[in-house]
Structure 1
Amino acid sequence: MWFLLYCEGTRFTEKKHQISMQVAESKGLPKLKYHLLPRTKGFTTTLQCLKGTVSAVYDVTLNFKDNQTPTLLGIVHGKKYKADMCVRRIPVEEIPEDEQECASWLHKLYQEKDALQENYNKEGKFPGPTIIPPRRPWTLLNFLFWATLLLSPLINFACGVVVSGSPLLIIGFILFLIIASIAIRRLIGVTEVKKTGSSYGDQEAKKQN
Structure 2
Amino acid sequence: MGVWGFLKTQFVVHLLIGFVFVISGLIINFLQLCTLPLWGANKQLYRRINCRLSYSLWSQLVMLLEWWSGTQCTLFTDQETVDHFGKEHVIIILNHNFEIDFLCGWTMCERFGVLGSSKVLAKKELLMVPLIGWTWYFLEIVFCKRKWEEDRDTVIQGLQNLRDYPEYMWFLLYCEGTRFTETKHKISMEVADKKGLARLKYHLLPRTRGFTTAVQCLRGTVSAVYDVTLNFRENKNPSLLGILYGKKYEADMCVRRFPLEEIPLDEKEAADWLHKLYQEKDALQERYFQEGTFPGPQILPPPPAMDSPKLPILGHPPPLTSNLVCNWYLRQRLPPLLILSFLGFMWTASFAVRRLIGVTEIERGSSYGNSEVKKRD
Q: Tell me if both proteins adopt one fold, taking TM over 0.5 as the criterion.
A: yes
Residue of structure 1 aligned with 2:365, choices 158, 174, 196? 196
Quote the offset at 1:179 in angstroms. Answer: 5.7
Quote the offset at 1:104 in angstroms. Answer: 0.7
Change (3 A) 1:183 1:89: closer
Q: C-alpha distance in 1, partners of 2:353/2:171?
A: 30
Q: C-alpha distance in 2, partners of 1:11/1:97?
A: 28
CA RMSD of aligned residues (A): 2.8
Residue of structure 2 aligned with 1:141, choices 315, 325, 331? 315
Query: Hey, which bits of structure 1, 4+ residues long, moved more than 6 A?
Result: 137-140, 168-172
Can you list the C-alpha shifts for 1:80-128, whole angstroms capped at 9, x where unaligned? 2211111100011111111111111100000000000000111111101
What runs of 5+ residues in structure 2 fail to find an aligned partner? 1-168, 309-313
Quote the offset at 1:28 in angstroms. Answer: 0.7
Quote the offset at 1:189 in angstroms. Answer: 3.1
Contact 1:63 1:83 in 2 (8 A): yes
Q: C-alpha distance in 2, partners of 1:3/1:187?
A: 22
The count of aligned residue pairs is: 201
Partner residue, 2:232: 64
Partner residue, 2:122: none
Contact 2:200 2:279 in 1 (8 A): yes
Quote the offset at 1:169 in angstroms. Answer: 7.3
**Normalization by structure 2: what TM-score?**
0.48
More displaced, 148-157 or 99-108?
148-157
Contact 1:61 1:85 in 2 (8 A): yes
Q: C-alpha distance in 1, partners of 2:301/2:260?
A: 26
Quote the offset at 1:190 in angstroms. Answer: 4.5
Q: Secondary structure at the match of 1:25?
A: helix
- Between structure 1 and structure 2, the one with the greater Rg is 1
Q: Does 1:118 align with 2:303?
A: no
Output the amino acid matched with 1:189: G
Q: C-alpha distance in 1, partners of 2:248/2:305?
A: 18
Q: C-alpha distance in 1, partners of 2:319/2:356?
A: 25
Q: C-alpha distance in 2, partners of 1:204/1:124?
A: 34
- Taking CA–CA contacts closer than 8 Å with sequence separation of 6 or more, which of the two structures ends up with the larger relative contact order? 2
What runs of 5+ residues in structure 1 fail to find an aligned partner? none
Change (3 A) 1:186 1:136: closer
